[in-house]
Amino acid sequence: MTASVIARLSEDVPHRTIILLGIVLAALLIAPWVVNDYLLTVLIVALYSAYTGQAWNIMMGFAGQLSLGNALYAGVGAYVAAFLFTKFGIGPWIGFLACAPAAAACGAIIGFLAFRFGVAGVYFAILTIAFAEFARIGFDHLAIVNASAGLFLPVQQYAHNDLWRLRGNPMMFYYVILVATVLAFILCRLLLRSRIGYFWLAIREDEQAARAAGIDTFRYKMYAVMISAAVTSFAGVFYAFFYNNLFPEQVFNIGRSIEMVLGPVIGGVGTLFGPILGAFVLNGLAETLNSAMSAAGLDLPGAKEVFYGLCLLLVILALPEGVWPPLARRLGIDKGMR
């Protein structure tokens, strides 16, 4: 079983790609031991963005369904996990077993309404925004999770990292999100190379032709939305336990959804490395800008958002496929990686 999964993972992958992957992974494993606390937080945010981007990519990059409301799934994950923890003392890992189906169910409702009644393209995107907004406003009035006053996880000093309850120092959180990102990458590669992946790509390329080839497009689009939602919900669990506070205004904010889209768009929609590369490029540049501005003594609120906008504009103009595909061709590793 394990052997066959490993065989499938490395199938058609050139040696150069495996070596490159090894180097990147080694660098990421060593990183927390050589960077300072601030940079460690930046890396955590970058990995978080890579993870959520990877999950968004399942829906848009693979199955061609544009979601601009993935904050909904992260938010549901965050609230369900935090609620179970604060009210019943149920840890995040068990909590995730409830978060994933809850988020998938939200995705299923949106998907059903859209795909059943032929809501597609930008109209689908608007529907996803609408549901994220419903959640934001709804949770703002939901007394059981403290409504707009916010839900807080108890914070204490911990002598040891408690991985089971996700209580501990940033280094533990770093490794948790790193492992999650690696697992999401592996999941996406396996999905993409299986029957479901071929059907998704067919739907993305030409839905009518996909139907003519016998694909039940409704069903496979539902799978894409539900899997993307379930994967995204873990990001919410992580968010809740890392930041220890949840406000509907923040977690369901459309800005969170847009941030999940930026990484893959800049890195390369539909590619496996795009979301990761895009997340690091974007967060790296934003932090450079940040430190440059504080060195110059400037304090401009909203500068980061303007900067994101500029990055997006530049990539769309200069590299419409995203940064990764041309880079992969340059490195000679564009074969077999899908």
Residues that bind other proteins (CB under 8 A): 193-195, 198-199, 201-202, 205-206, 208-217
SS (H, E, C) the chain: CHHHHHHHHHCCCCHHHHHHHHHHHHHHHHHHHHCCHHHHHHHHHHHHHHHHHHHHHHHHHHCCCCCCCCHHHHHHHHHHHHHHHHHHCCCHHHHHHHHHHHHHHHHHHHHHHHHHCCCCCHHHHHHHHHHHHHHHHHHHCCHHHCHHHCEECCCCCCCCCECCCCECCHHHHHHHHHHHHHHHHHHHHHHHCCHHHHHHHHHHHCHHHHHHCCCCHHHHHHHHHHHHHHHHHHHHHHHHHHHCEECHHHHCCHHHHHHHHHHHHHHCCCCCCHHHHHHHHHHHHHHHHHHHHHHCCCCCCCHHHHHHHHHHHHHHHHCCCCCHHHHHHHHCCCCCCC
For residues 160 and 195, which CB has a smaller minimum distance to other proteins in the complex? 195
For residues 152 and 218, which CB has a smaller minimum distance to other proteins in the complex? 218
For residues 54 and 217, which CB has a smaller minimum distance to other proteins in the complex? 217
For residues 218 and 243, which CB has a smaller minimum distance to other proteins in the complex? 218
For residues 37 and 216, which CB has a smaller minimum distance to other proteins in the complex? 216
For residues 216 and 305, which CB has a smaller minimum distance to other proteins in the complex? 216
- Rounded to a whole number of angstroms, the minimum distance from the CB of residue 215 to other proteins is 6
- Rounded to a whole number of angstroms, the minimum distance from the CB of residue 67 to other proteins is 20
- Rounded to a whole number of angstroms, the minimum distance from the CB of residue 228 to other proteins is 20
- Rounded to a whole number of angstroms, the minimum distance from the CB of residue 64 to other proteins is 11
- Rounded to a whole number of angstroms, the minimum distance from the CB of residue 194 to other proteins is 6
| Residues composing the chain | 338
- Rounded to a whole number of angstroms, the minimum distance from the CB of residue 1 to other proteins is 16
- Rounded to a whole number of angstroms, the minimum distance from the CB of residue 3 to other proteins is 16
For residues 68 and 192, which CB has a smaller minimum distance to other proteins in the complex? 192
